[in-house]
Amino acid sequence: MLRQPARRYGVVLITSMILILISIYISLTNGEFDMTVRDIVETLLRIHPVPEHDLVVFDFRLPRIVIAALIGFALGMVGAVIQGLTRNGLADPGILGINAGAGAAIVIFTFLFQGLPTSTGWFAIMAKPLFGLVGGLAAAALIFVFAWKRGKLDPQRLILVGIAIGSGFGAVSLFLSLKMNPQDFEMATVWLTGSIWNANWAYIAAMLPWLLILLPIVYRKAHLLDLLQLEEISVKGLGVSTEREKMILLLCCIGVVSACVSVSGNIGFVGLLAPHMARRLVGIRHQYVLPISGTLGMLLVVLSDFISKTVFKPVELPVGIVISLIGVPYFIYLLFKARK
């Protein structure tokens, strides 16, 4: 009996990884400039390199795919953690306003440095996650202040408070973007809807350290997320410092979300969809749910990015809009299901 969940986890993990590889293959070979498998392999292995192929693969497609995969994996894991912390299946970074808080801080950063050389250099690229962290912390602090009731976080108030805070930060972002010059306003508007069209290796270098440091910390605390599903008194009776552990997990989630928002804007619903699908596939143990949520989130964002740049040609939709087209109906379904 104990081997069955582990076997199912292995099957789901391998299947999802195969689907991710297929999605990456499709994204690499298809687009405005179609390439064969042989072209891709020769370009990656530096066999008879062709400048046009190098440009398409290394400057356009591969950075975009890598960022989509990293963001999907990170948001999927973070969504599972936040749902576990709040014991609320409708919680995710976007709905709780953490994305909006991080996004507003980065818009403020862009507004302050617009037109300056630093706004497009390495200073801006590396500093954006820090600004996003401040905004995410501000959003989380407001959520705790208004959703805290009788010494604990009230899950019923959490969603309403998160939506209100997200709307407030969204209004701040829109107001500041209207004050920008036309070029920066256009870029800010596209970025706020969730877009990775401007992906490059510098963005990957900026976000990767955050993910490599914080996501392993989150995964090591998977057993604590299982315990936190019990009553608060029972968990404390086991010797767990619940408030301290919740704070560590929440700070890790905010750091990861801030790094993602700094390079992709506000991509919502990944952290809502992936954990629900993961729990249906592998059960409720977070040791299994966290990695599967990450791989499913990775698959969702990579596929959505491919759809955004090909299906609606010659127009390219931001990937956040494509994911919202999938996420909104599913969110409504979950709301109706929760009422039963």
Give residue 19's pLDDT: 95
Give residue 122's pLDDT: 63
Whole-angstrom distance, CA of residue 44 vs CA of residue 262: 28
Whole-angstrom distance, CA of residue 6 vs CA of residue 240: 26
Are the CB atoms for 271 and 75 separated by under 8 Å?
A: yes
Give residue 1's pLDDT: 45
Calculate the alpha carbon distances from 238 to 66, 125, 244, 319 in Å: 41, 44, 14, 44
Whole-angstrom distance, CA of residue 330 vs CA of residue 110: 33
Residue 117's pLDDT band, with cuts at 50, 70 and 90, is very low
The answer to whether residue 274 scores a pLDDT higher than 70 is: yes
pTM of the model: 0.89
Q: Cα-atom radius of gyration of the chain, to the nearest Å? A: 20
The answer to whether residue 340 scores a pLDDT higher than 80 is: no
What domains can be seen in the chain, in order of their start residue? 3-339 (1.10.3470.10)
> Helix crossing, 319-339 with 286-310: angle to 10°?
130
pLDDT digits (tens, 9 = 90+) for 179-205: 887 777 777 777 778 888 778 888 898
Across the range 275-304, mean pLDDT stands at: 93
Whole-angstrom distance, CA of residue 141 vs CA of residue 220: 25
Please tell me what DSSP assigns to residue 136.
H
DSSP characters over 212-244:
HHHHHHHHHTHHHHHHTTS-HHHHHHTT--HHH
| Helix (H) / strand (E) containing 149 | strand 148-149
> Helix crossing, 3-29 with 286-310: angle to 10°?
20
pLDDT digits (tens, 9 = 90+) for 207-250: 899 999 999 999 999 998 888 887 777 777 777 777 788 888 98
Calculate the alpha carbon distances from 15 to 18, 270, 295 in Å: 5, 19, 10
CA 114 remoteness from chain centre? 26
The answer to whether residue 104 scores a pLDDT higher than 50 is: yes
Kindly report the number of other CB atoms within 10 A of residue 87's CB atom: 14
